[in-house]
Amino acid sequence: MFFYRLLLQHHLKRSFTIPTTTTIALTATPNCAHCHTFAFSSAEEAAAERRRRKRRLRIEPPLSAIRRDSSPLNPRPRPDPNAPRLPDSTSALVGPRLNLHNRVQSHIRAGDLDEASAMARHAVFSSTRPTVFTCNAVIAAMHRKGRYDDAIALFRFFYNQSNIVPNIVSYNYLINVHCDANRVDVALDVCKHILDNAPFSLSPVTYRHLTKGLVDAGRISEAVDLLREMVNKNHAADSLVYDNIISGYLELGNEERANDLFEELRERCVVYDGVVNATFMEWFFKKGMDKEAMESYQGLLDRKFSMTPATGNVLLEVLLKYDKSLEATKLFEHMLDSHKPPNILAVNSSTYNIMVNECFRLGNISDAISTFRKVGTGPGAKPFMMDAAGYNNIIGKFCENGMLKEAEKFFAEMPTRQATPDTYKFFVDAYLKEERIEDVLLLFNKMVFESGVKASAALYNKIFDALLNNGKLEEVADIMGRMGEMEVKPNQSTYELVITGLCKEGRLDHVWNLLCQMVKHRILVSPALRGTVDEAFGKERRIEEIEKLLGRSYDGRVGNFTHQQKGPEKVAAY
């Protein structure tokens, strides 16, 4: 018995022996080399680790230290369920929603507004809903193209039916649409709705649209009432609001009232931008009072204030419109000398476009090139970094005048990432005019496969139609096949155009590949295209292949009624 007791005590002593750090290090396997053992080789190493953790906490404090309002002693109040919902902030434009916004913007830049509208509307029913900024971009694009009814319908769909909260920019677009469509009373009702229901107030842009609409409708007294309302609500005196009303009084011949408002603007406006002077100048020029117009212009220059590009551009347009080219050139050079980014921005691409277009109008091509490359010579002046709008303008002018060599030189020096669909459209029209089909083909390959530019369906169709008419069937089929695997994909009308052309030439293998591509990307095959394909494949006794891919189109024995599609085409219809 005593022997077994000693054996048990010996076994317990061995079981509770604590291994040292050295023993652990010796028995560790190579796979555990990066395991943290919570042991330090010395007290200095442990102290260094504590200091490192303290430094990290100072640099990156825990969220509990930042959100002090969520502490147990001061809990965050519960949100009021009856409080009005607020529109999206810019922080919502991230991740998939930002990608959606960029795709919609690419369609807008390409001029394909229907595709942009469809993409934004379909996204409402997906997990990636569009932000208010994406919706506003589509509505604004419709307004710029004069599609007022479509803009209003989109506003109703996004904000009244889809539960997206509009911001003041959304309402401003709607008000501007109604004013441009001569529905000022409806615009005023929208303004009243904002005041009664929206969690924000009117902006100066709102008053600009409303006053312009009222003045154009001959209701200038109501525009003045809006101006007084804006001032009484402690809004800053907006020169464009005053300019709308002043121009209205000048058109009515009431120069005294216009001058009174101009003096009031000078007293109230903290920084006057000079827009109203351009309005007075143009009115004086129309009346043949050139002396008074130039006195108003000289009085503006004598103030020697930092002129914004918008003001300078308006003055340039007025001077050039009334043959004051010498004064316009001096003003242009003064703006270039004052351009000192990032603190002072005195010119933009529109400034250059105004002067370049005037040179082309006068037939001075060399002066247009020198004007495009002109920079300021004043102290501290910096050259303007030309953007896509400036390059597109001068390239378009060269193409209009048949000067393709000069246009190609400017296109070569233009950064590739700045090229837009408009840039390529100028060259396509010029090449087709001179029947340079090979150049069209090279340009299209550069546009789609090298630059990845998303163009409109009209431009694609124009290019493919020209290539098909000139016998470039193999090239067109190859391009369509490659485009189907890229982000820049053809749409239904482009597929229909190309497939119809290939059917006429009997290239049924290419037609089959493109139809498979349409089914893969869920692009609907229209009845007209289906009829063309059935006829072409029926002549070659290959109609069974089409029926397997798209389903039966009709049964001649049952009154030619269309059967419901099955298989891939049924999926494509949705």
Diameter of the chain measured on Cα atoms: 133
The structure tokens 């009515």 sit at 252
Listed by start position, the domains of the chain span 2-69, 283-385, 395-455, 470-574
Rounded Cα distance between 381 and 338, Å, is 6
Count Cβ atoms below 10 Å from residue 541 Cβ, excluding itself.
Answer: 8
Rounded Cα distance between 453 and 334, Å, is 37
Angle, nearest 10°, between helix axes 275-286 and 290-302? 170
3-state SS assignment for residue 554: strand
Count Cβ atoms below 10 Å from residue 270 Cβ, excluding itself.
Answer: 6
Report pLDDT for 22: 40
Give residue 40's region: left, alpha or beta (phi > 0; psi -120 to 50).
beta
Positions of E strands within 370-436 = none
CA 555 and chain centroid, separation: 48
Kindly provide the b/e burial profile for residues 542-568, where b requires at least 16 CB atoms within 10 angstroms of the residue's own CB. Answer: ebeebeebbbebeeeeeeeeeeebeeb
Token digits for 171?
């309402």
**Exposed, middle or buried: residue 368 (CB in 10 Å: 0-12, 13-18, 19+)?**
buried
Report pLDDT for 111: 83
How far the first Cα of the chain sits from its last, in Å, is 88
Identity of residue 229: E
Angle at CA of residue 216, ends 215 and 217, nearest 5°: 90
Report pLDDT for 25: 39
Rounded Cα distance between 44 and 318, Å, is 78
On whether the CB atoms of residues 248 and 220 are closer than 8 A, the answer is yes
Rounded Cα distance between 97 and 101, Å, is 6
Rounded Cα distance between 227 and 244, Å, is 10
Angle at CA of residue 24, ends 23 and 28, nearest 5°: 120
Rounded Cα distance between 517 and 536, Å, is 18
Helix (DSSP H) and strand (DSSP E) numbers for the chain: 31, 0
Rounded Cα distance between 202 and 211, Å, is 13
> Which residues have C-beta within 8 Å of that of residue 325, sequence separation ≥ 6?
319, 358
pLDDT 10s digit of each residue in the chain, 574 long?
A: 555 555 556 554 554 444 444 443 334 444 444 444 445 677 777 888 888 887 777 666 555 555 555 555 566 677 777 777 889 888 899 999 999 999 999 889 888 899 899 999 999 999 999 999 999 999 999 999 999 999 999 999 999 999 999 999 999 999 999 999 999 999 999 999 999 998 888 999 999 999 999 999 999 999 999 999 998 888 888 899 999 999 999 999 999 999 999 999 988 877 777 889 999 999 999 999 999 999 999 988 888 878 889 899 999 999 999 999 999 999 999 999 999 998 888 999 999 999 999 999 999 999 999 999 999 998 999 999 998 899 999 999 999 998 999 999 999 888 766 778 888 889 999 999 888 999 988 888 888 877 777 777 788 888 888 888 888 888 888 888 888 777 667 888 888 999 999 998 888 998 998 899 888 888 888 899 999 999 999 888 888 888 888 887 654 433 333 334 433 333 333 2
> Which residues have C-beta within 8 Å of that of residue 306, sequence separation ≥ 6?
338, 344, 346
The structure tokens 């969520």 sit at 70
Angle at CA of residue 389, ends 242 and 403, nearest 5°: 130
Phi (first) and psi of residue 290, to 5 degrees: -65, -35
Identity of residue 258: A
- Residues 184, 190, 191, 193, CA torsion sign: positive
**Exposed, middle or buried: residue 61 (CB in 10 Å: 0-12, 13-18, 19+)?**
exposed
Q: Which residues pair with 340 in a beta bridge?
A: 344
Q: Which residues pair with 554 in a beta bridge?
A: 562
> Which residues have C-beta within 8 Å of that of residue 518, sequence separation ≥ 6?
495, 525, 572
Rounded CA Rg of the chain: 35
Nearest Cα residue to 103 out of 132, 88, 87, 123: 123
Rounded Cα distance between 270 and 257, Å, is 22
Report pLDDT for 293: 93
